[in-house]
């Protein structure tokens, strides 16, 4: 369990079950980081508080524990610190030596160190992730799936609305199918912006 005091900004603790295990978070921003990372790469391994580093800062021995270690199949591992931008600016002089130690550790372990802030974590992509993650395991009729994919293949790069109109289904049933197929990545959409009826859909 973690022993680092929580920020006064957020005291939201919890565990997130992932396909690769369980990730612990201790703030709303950490929770959102785990959600977004697991959404963008369902096979990513996200390890909370993976290592505690001991380093010298002048004549003082200090300790620092980064928030996460993220491992992906086709990319270098990432040692990640999650911080609000205001906290970074307010405490940069104190934090910088710890971050330098983290970068050194990452280089020694064929990894990279990065700082994730709300600017990179929060936004339309995270909002889409929160909506779609819960649908990844939702049941989906095979005949409806084939029908939707056939329409997208035939129309090329149709809008969400165009596919919905072409489906011989009730609107609610069509909406459910499209959202679930996007969640499963059976349909591709631009997730960096909100999904609307004008969103273009394509096959993977």
> pLDDT tens, 36-45?
999 999 999 9
| DSSP string for residues in 29-77 | HHHHHHHHHHHH-TT-EEEES---EEEEETTEEEEE--SEEEEETTEEE
pLDDT of residue 6: 43
Is 183's pLDDT higher than 80?
yes
Instruction: Give the pLDDT band of residue 51 (cuts 50, 70, 90).
Output: very high
> pLDDT tens, 135-179?
999 999 999 999 999 999 999 999 999 999 999 999 999 999 999
Helical ranges in the chain per DSSP H:
28-40, 85-108, 118-121, 124-133, 142-155, 160-166, 171-183
What is the CA angle 162-185-183, rounded to 5? 80
pLDDT of residue 174: 97
The mean pLDDT value for 119-125 works out to 97
The mean pLDDT value for 15-26 works out to 82
Average pLDDT for the chain: 93
As separate numbers, helices (DSSP H) first and strands (DSSP E) second, the chain gives: 7, 8
Instruction: Give the pLDDT band of residue 10 (cuts 50, 70, 90).
Output: low
pLDDT of residue 23: 86
> pLDDT tens, 70-95?
999 989 999 999 999 999 999 999 99
Instruction: Give the pLDDT band of residue 104 (cuts 50, 70, 90).
Output: very high
CB atoms within 10 A of CB 133: 16
> What is the rounded CA–CA span in Å between residue 111 and residue 127?
28
> What is the rounded CA–CA span in Å between residue 161 and residue 27?
38
Matching residue, tokens 């977004």: 36
For residues 49 and 69, the answer to whether their CB atoms sit within 8 Å is: no
The mean pLDDT value for 171-188 works out to 97
pTM above 0.85, yes or no: yes
Q: Which domains does the chain have, with CATH numbers?
A: 14-122 (3.40.1350), 126-183 (no CATH)
Is 202's pLDDT higher than 60?
yes
pLDDT of residue 18: 80
């Amino acid at each position: 369990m973690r022993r680092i005091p929580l920020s006064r900004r957020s005291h939201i603790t919890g565990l997130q079950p992932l396909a690769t295990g369980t990730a612990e978070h201790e703030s709303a921003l950490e929770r959102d980081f785990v959600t977004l990372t697991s959404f963008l790469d369902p096979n990513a391994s996200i390890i909370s508080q993976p290592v505690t580093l001991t380093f010298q800062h002048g004549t003082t021995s200090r300790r620092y524990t980064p928030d996460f270690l993220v491992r992906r199949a086709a990319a270098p591992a990432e040692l990640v610190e999650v911080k609000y931008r205001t906290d970074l600016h307010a405490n940069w002089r104190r934090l910088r030596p710890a971050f330098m130690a983290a970068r050194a550790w990452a280089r020694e372990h064929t990894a990279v160190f990065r700082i994730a802030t709300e600017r990179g974590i929060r936004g339309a992509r995270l909002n889409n992730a929160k909506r779609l993650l819960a649908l990844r395991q939702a049941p989906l009729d095979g005949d409806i799936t084939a029908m939707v994919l056939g329409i997208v293949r035939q129309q090329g790069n149709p809008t969400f609305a165009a596919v919905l109109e072409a489906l011989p289904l009730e609107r609610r049933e069509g909406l459910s199918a499209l959202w679930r197929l996007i969640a499963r990545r059976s349909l591709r959409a631009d997730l960096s912006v909100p999904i609307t009826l004008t969103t273009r859909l394509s096959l993977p």
